[in-house]
Structure 1
Amino acid sequence: MHSYSKVNLDDLRYFLALARHGRLVAAGERLGVEHTTVSRRVAALEKAVGHRLFERTRTGWAFTDAGRRLLPHAERIEGEALLAFAAPEGADRPVSGVVRLIATDAVGSVIVAPALAPLHEQHPGIALELVTTSALISHQTGQFDVAITLHRPQLPRFQVRRLCDYALRLYAAPSYLAKAEPIRSAADLADHEMVWYIESLLDLPELRFFHEVSETASFAFRSSNVFAQLEAVAAGIGVGLLPCFLAEQDPRVEPVLQHELEVARTFWMIVPSAQVNVERVRIVCDHVARWFEDRADVLKPPLPPTA
């Protein structure tokens, strides 16, 4: 039998860091220690509880059954400690620490990254990290503090907050439109070259919808990267269905069928429950939410009046 009185509760910080980041080096970076320290402290915790908590995989460290059972208790202890030692409301002290955000490629680069500049100016002690991806976020690994995603998870231990809708519309380069057949309706798209994602590589089900636009379209160019799609459209390869916040301000492309065809999707903010009451995370969440709200007309621009 093992005596749980021998458990060093500070070792739970290292357990949680490895749980959230999956790699010893990444966990060490977040805690400001060497990866060997993380390994040693997790091993000490495993010895105290009498169970292996992680197992090595090809992609990093994953929970054993014992580690998975320990996780919600460790998160609850962490949350209570954060509340216990938080400064009284109104106390004048700088907020510090790392907050990692994860977002889809386009919105992360075009919307979220600019939002972080005024946030950093106001709270220079908060170190901001932004990961962009076109893949479905793995909510089980907890490798983020704040996620901006199209996919709303139906999972416990996460707080989900609706940010706003955004629009995708058709765009093409003037050089393409000058040599192509006229596009007067969605039915005409069957005679045109299209630019879109490689849907077999798409993890996000919310982006597998081109059949709603045209069931007979032929594709001249596909890419897993939306910036590459924009460049292909601007180069005149074909007609692309692009986020308005990415294409509307690009002088190299112009809208096509904008009054007839629009696809709307929703951005969601996801925060692990254990991070909800962490002051630096709450500050980042509130700032980013206001930033999205203030840019509703950029994310889903109003249509110009019809002629």
Structure 2
Amino acid sequence: MDASTVGRRIARLEHDIGATLFAKTPQGYRLTAEGGRLVAPAEAAEKAAKAANEATRQEAGISGVLRIGAPDGCANYLLPQVAHKLCEAHPGLEVQIVALPRVVNLSKREADMAIAVSPPDTGRLTVQRLTDYHLHLAAHRDYLQRHPDIRDLPDLRRHRMVGYIPDMIFDRELDYLSETGVQTAQITSNSVSVQMQAIRAAAGLGIVHDFAIPFAPDLQVILPDRIALKRSFWLLRHADDRGSRRMNLLAEALTHNLRAETARLEGLVRAGMTRDT
């Protein structure tokens, strides 16, 4: 709903309670001490309302909004197809994809579920391994035609590399270049999608998700026997959602479809590498 409606409702709530719940600051709104004391009861009320809604919902389908937070590689190359499958199966469902080059904060309700590249060490969360995925070094065929041949790892030092901005790598699992023996990259971004576009523009070599390669048919995998990375996606959920039938069904459907889509796209890449050899 629009901000003015939210403002009116909050003002009415503050009037009824007789306390100021939010204070306006130059950075936005923040909870007052009175507002902070209401967070836990409000979350309990929301949980009870959702449970009541689920108890009366028809068994045929799942409706409402599902917001999924994910790193931008997963969000760009996997989740659109997964969202399509979910909405086909449940016409009353609206899927929102939040693509961020960082870990989505579930405690701040940035999303209903989040996909991460490593399991968190802290927080009241339910954590589940979704699927493994693979990455390889790749470059555009035009780049490879214009630059020296690459026959082994030492040859990479003569090439321009594309990768992450070092001080913006938000998870150690994303430190891909360290596994190639190359210490620095000349073109860097905190976004997987920006890196991919640079590689597609024949700007250099870079580590690419296998599931993204089918979207760029002119990319060629380099040294697949020497540089082959494996990582995992993890599904993070609010601990309080474990008793929600709706959220459990959605998590199950998301897991099934993400695994299937990752396997489908990676299968295309494996088939291409087999033909090249």
Per the normalisation by structure 1, the TM-score is: 0.76
Residue 158 (1) aligns with residue 129 (2):
no
1:139 to 106, 116, 124: 106
Identical-pair percentage: 25
How do 1:1-307 and structure 2 match up within 5 A? 28=1, 34-44=5-15, 47=18, 52-64=20-32, 67-87=35-55, 91-92=58-59, 95-217=62-184, 219-298=185-264, 301=267
Select the structure with the greater relative contact order (CA < 8 A; seq sep ≥ 6).
Answer: 2
1:142–1:272: 8 Å Cα contact kept in structure 2?
no
Question: Given the superposition, is the C-alpha separation of residues 212 and 272 from structure 1 closer, same or farther in structure 2, using an over 3 Å criterion?
Answer: same
Using the alignment, how far apart are the partners of 2:261 and 2:194 within structure 1?
24
Shift of 1:87: 2.5
Using the alignment, how far apart are the partners of 2:106 and 2:140 within structure 1?
38
Question: Given the superposition, is the C-alpha separation of residues 142 and 207 from structure 1 closer, same or farther in structure 2, using an over 3 Å criterion?
Answer: same
For residues 64-85 of structure 1, give each alpha carbon's deviation from its aligned partner in whole angstroms, at most 9, with x where no partner exists.
Answer: 4554454344323432343345
Supply the AA of the counterpart residue of 1:87: A
How well do the aligned residues superpose, as a CA RMSD in angstroms? 3.0
Q: How many pairs does the alignment contain?
A: 273
Question: Given the superposition, is the C-alpha separation of residues 256 and 297 from structure 1 closer, same or farther in structure 2, using an over 3 Å criterion?
Answer: same
For residues 69-126 of structure 1, give each alpha carbon's deviation from its aligned partner in whole angstroms, at most 9, with x where no partner exists.
Answer: 543443234323433453379x546543222111121211221111112321222222
SS in 2 for 1:34: helix
Question: Given the superposition, is the C-alpha separation of residues 189 and 94 from structure 1 closer, same or farther in structure 2, using an over 3 Å criterion?
Answer: closer
Shift of 1:153: 2.1
SS in 1 for 2:55: coil
Shift of 1:258: 0.8
